[in-house]
Amino acid sequence: FSKSIEATRKTRTVCTYCGVGCNLNVATKGSEVLSIQAPTDSEVNHSHTCLKGRYAFKFVKHPDRLRKPLIRYNGHFTEATWEEAYDYIAKNLQRIKEEHGGNAVGGISSARCTNEENYLMQKFIRVGFGTNNIDACARVCHSPTAWGMQKAFGTGAATNSIEDLEYTNCILITGANPTEGHPVTGSKIKQRVMKGVPLIVIDPREIELVPYAKHHLQLRPGTNVALLDMFAYYILEAGLIDQDFIKKRCENWEEFEQGLRNLNLDESERTHGVPREKVRAAAIEYASAKGAMAFHGLGVTEHSHGSKTVMTIADIAMMTGNIGRPGVGVLPLRGQNNVQGAADMGCQPHQGAGYLQVNDEANHKLYEEFYGAHMSNEIGWKIPQMYDAALAGKLKALWIMGEDVVQTDPNTEHVKSALNALEFLVVQELFMTPTAEFADVVLPAASFLEKSGTFTNGERRVQRVNAVIPPIPGTKSDGQIVCDIMQRMGIPQADYTPDGVLAEIARIVPFFKGATWENLTDQGTQWPIKEGGIGTEILHVDSFKRGLGKFHFFRFQESKEIEKHHDEFPFILTTGRILEHYNCGTMTRRTGNAQIVTEDLLAIHPDDAAKKGIESGDMVRIFSNRGEVNMKAKISTEVKPGILYTTFHFPENLVNMVTSSECDEDTMCPEYKVVAVDVEKVPAS
């Protein structure tokens, strides 16, 4: 017995699932993972994890794991060696570059991967092909947050730490469901509410936090701007603005104020459907608090006016002076473990590593000198534009690192057609996903427990990920794969080591300047990281990154999806996720969590169900002008009449068959939260 204790090793690393970034202590014996616990000293999660982080790790050794590169010959996958796969890829990418130019190549990077891997991926595409056709899955989640907060504050990241919940006097949550999506943060919010801090929830659904909330503003999906404008109006009307803060720290107040004063409250109320007195009471609660924190999630961003909603939340924080001190701020709840990091590292077509605009002359020169290569100064294609370019024959080759776009991107048939139109598709993956099925080459990657590097959580905390076990035989880390192919194609790159790449990042990303592998201690460090590894807990303390914070006023506009299709498809479908599963479920469906929740269900209000003759457990058909999907119904008052809700964790019930290509006007983030559909019972056969 004592021998077996001695043989057990504990390694500290970071959870792969959500943007909370919980620290984990992983117990292993040899290459077997025995258990996961939370370290008691972790500033992020204080001995706590959710059931994904603690129990959902069995996918790592699952028999479905890819263990050999696969090359498609004559329509069929054939197992290959790494050498054969690299040769085949290098030959095809070189040919496409010569025949069609570097702009015919694109890359999709991954918020699942480390900072070092994301950094290398964007470098591979930019340096290797002289194009900025590089994007990542932030496109389909928080790209409006980055855009909107950059416009308002100059930095597209959380202004404060989650720990600030300890000091706040009011919590506002718009379009986020933390107890399911960010469970450890959700628990902290509950704890604060139970100690008397008022909670305001703006959400079309009765999420788990609603019984804890003092105010629930249950708006019609797609009307965030209308509701938040009214919220700001009542703050102004009650005289609860922070005039000193506005005067000293902000610009464009007059235009914003004028916009609010011209609001038509009757029209606003009709639009969002929440009685104005409820909005007024919540607004006064927020603005009267000594310090108030505003959290938001994908219920804000995944709309045609997602960026505008983010800017309106920023307006509300600035008009009340809730910026730049403990217990206040604007905190996007980042979905994936490293979605912050993927953007920080430059996996977006308009900004390179460190958020420098690629089409700015000085930045372009800086990047060319740093990389010693010819770089493009033209903004590249975003993911939806890559699909269109593939269909138009302009994008010939695509490299996807750790993303299942067929299951997660909207309008599945459109995505499939685009992938089919490509000449050459490379996919790095853990499993044979619906996206990998389309690939010409599939490369077996290592999971988070098999590699080292850093993840940056939703509060800008850069944390060390430490390999717990070696890569399972036949697989390689994503960073190793990208480095190998760079070297194979003659793109200068030193041999892959995570600390070596981190050192390179620190030389080009200004806010990583002081980061080294050694000084990122067990607790991680929040960027900007200054010399000596000194982090920054609160942003915009004395001034905003952009100088003055900028107010923007936006008048509500109806979603294009509703305008175009709601007459024919009278229900509004909105989508989200549940505690037990993670996004497309590639990992969690291969763990014990798959026995707890086995399928996606459609929530429908009892009145609608009665009209349609639907009972709980009935199979229903949901259809839009893009496609259809069948799933079981769950009759529930969590949604209002006319609204439907489901999740997207199971490929068997692929809800993205019905979602649309409508997207945020500024960033092309898809409008997953407002989908015009109809529903009917599937007759028993």
Q: Are 410 and 659 within 8 A, CB to CB?
A: yes
Residue closer to ligand SF4 by CB (options 54, 632) is 54
Q: What's the rounded Cα separation, in Å, for the pair 590 and 573?
A: 28
Strands 441-444 and 424-429: parallel
Task: State which of residues 69, 178, 183, 354 lies at the interface with ligand SF4 (CB under 6 A).
Answer: 183
Shortest Å distance, C-beta 579 to ligand SF4: 9
Query: Does residue 15 belong to the site contacting ligand SF4 (CB under 6 A)?
Result: yes
Residue closer to ligand SF4 by CB (options 22, 134) is 22
Residue closer to ligand SF4 by CB (options 18, 418) is 18
Give the CA distances from residue 25 to residues 29, 33, 54, 182, 600, in Å, rounded to whole numbers and listed in that order: 13, 11, 9, 19, 31
Judged by CB under 6 A, how many residues of this single chain contact ligand SF4?
Answer: 14
Residue closer to ligand SF4 by CB (options 271, 583) is 583
Task: State which of residues 13, 42, 49, 435 lies at the interface with ligand SF4 (CB under 6 A).
Answer: 49
Q: Give phi and psi for 661, each to the nearest 5.
A: -90, 5
Amino acid type, 171: I
Query: Does residue 351 belong to the site contacting ligand SF4 (CB under 6 A)?
Result: no
Shortest Å distance, C-beta 239 to ligand SF4: 40
Structure-block tokens of residue 679: 């529903």
Q: Are 174 and 294 within 8 A, CB to CB?
A: yes
Q: What's the rounded Cα separation, in Å, for the pair 171 and 211?
A: 14
Residue closer to ligand SF4 by CB (options 157, 439) is 157
Task: State which of residues 13, 42, 50, 471 lies at the interface with ligand SF4 (CB under 6 A).
Answer: 50
Shortest Å distance, C-beta 674 to ligand SF4: 26
- Reduced 3-state DSSP string for 22-56: CEEEEEEECCEEEEEECCCCCCCCCCCCCHHHHHC
Task: State which of residues 39, 52, 150, 353 lies at the interface with ligand SF4 (CB under 6 A).
Answer: 52
In this chain, which stretch among 42-50, 259-267, 328-336, 567-575 interacts with ligand SF4, using CB under 6 A?
42-50
Residue closer to ligand SF4 by CB (options 15, 197) is 15
Shortest Å distance, C-beta 637 to ligand SF4: 27
Q: What's the rounded Cα separation, in Å, for the pair 644 and 606?
A: 11
Phi-psi region of 246 (alpha: psi -120 to 50; beta: other; left: phi over 0): alpha
Q: Are 28 and 469 within 8 A, CB to CB?
A: yes
Shortest Å distance, C-beta 26 to ligand SF4: 12
Residue closer to ligand SF4 by CB (options 583, 667) is 583
Q: What's the rounded Cα separation, in Å, for the pair 457 and 461?
A: 5
Q: Are 185 and 158 within 8 A, CB to CB?
A: no
Shortest Å distance, C-beta 589 to ligand SF4: 15
What single-letter DSSP state applies at residue 625?
S
Q: Give phi and psi for 18, each to the nearest 5.
A: -115, 175
Q: Which residues contact 476 (CB under 8 A, 6 or more apart)?
A: 82, 443, 444, 445, 446, 484
Query: Does residue 184 belong to the site contacting ligand SF4 (CB under 6 A)?
Result: yes
Query: Does residue 17 belong to the site contacting ligand SF4 (CB under 6 A)?
Result: yes
Shortest Å distance, C-beta 353 to ligand SF4: 25
Residue closer to ligand SF4 by CB (options 222, 524) is 524
Query: Does residue 124 belong to the site contacting ligand SF4 (CB under 6 A)?
Result: no
**Helical packing angle, 265-272 and 276-288, nearest 10°:** 100
Is 399 in a helix, a strand, or coil?
strand
The tokens 């041999």 sit on which residue?
495
Query: Does residue 297 belong to the site contacting ligand SF4 (CB under 6 A)?
Result: no
Residue closer to ligand SF4 by CB (options 391, 467) is 467
Shortest Å distance, C-beta 657 to ligand SF4: 27
In this chain, which stretch among 45-53, 341-349, 355-363, 530-538 interacts with ligand SF4, using CB under 6 A?
45-53
**Measuring CA to CA, which residue among 128, 132, 110, 130 is closest to residue 357?**
132
Mask: binding to ligand SF4, 53-72, rule CB under 6 A, as x and -? x-------------------
Shortest Å distance, C-beta 672 to ligand SF4: 20
Sheet holding 9-14: strands in order across? 9-14, 23-29, 32-37
Shortest Å distance, C-beta 545 to ligand SF4: 27
Residue closer to ligand SF4 by CB (options 140, 579) is 579
Residue closer to ligand SF4 by CB (options 188, 249) is 188
Shortest Å distance, C-beta 45 to ligand SF4: 6
In 320-411, which residue ranges form alpha helices assigned H by DSSP? Answer: 339-344, 361-371, 383-391, 405-408
Residue closer to ligand SF4 by CB (options 224, 408) is 408
Identify residues 18-37 at the interface with ligand SF4 (CB under 6 A): 18, 20-22
The distance between the two most distant Cα atoms of the chain, rounded to a whole number of Å, is 76
Mask: binding to ligand SF4, 143-182, rule CB under 6 A, as x and -? ---------------------------------------x
Surface-to-core class of residue 531, CB atoms within 10 Å of its CB (0-12 exposed, 13-18 middle, 19+ buried)? exposed
Residue closer to ligand SF4 by CB (options 50, 111) is 50
**R_g of the chain, CA atoms, integer Å:** 24
In this chain, which stretch among 47-55, 244-252, 470-478, 632-640 interacts with ligand SF4, using CB under 6 A?
47-55
Amino acid type, 623: F
Residue closer to ligand SF4 by CB (options 15, 331) is 15
Residue closer to ligand SF4 by CB (options 54, 95) is 54
Dihedral sign, CA of 487, 491, 492, 496? negative
Mask: binding to ligand SF4, 465-494, rule CB under 6 A, as x and -? ------------------------------
Q: Nearest 5 degrees, angle CA 607-CA 609-CA 611?
A: 70
Shortest Å distance, C-beta 177 to ligand SF4: 13
Shortest Å distance, C-beta 393 to ligand SF4: 41
Query: Which residues are at the interface with ligand SF4 (CB under 6 A)?
Result: 15, 17-18, 20-22, 45, 49-50, 52-53, 182-184
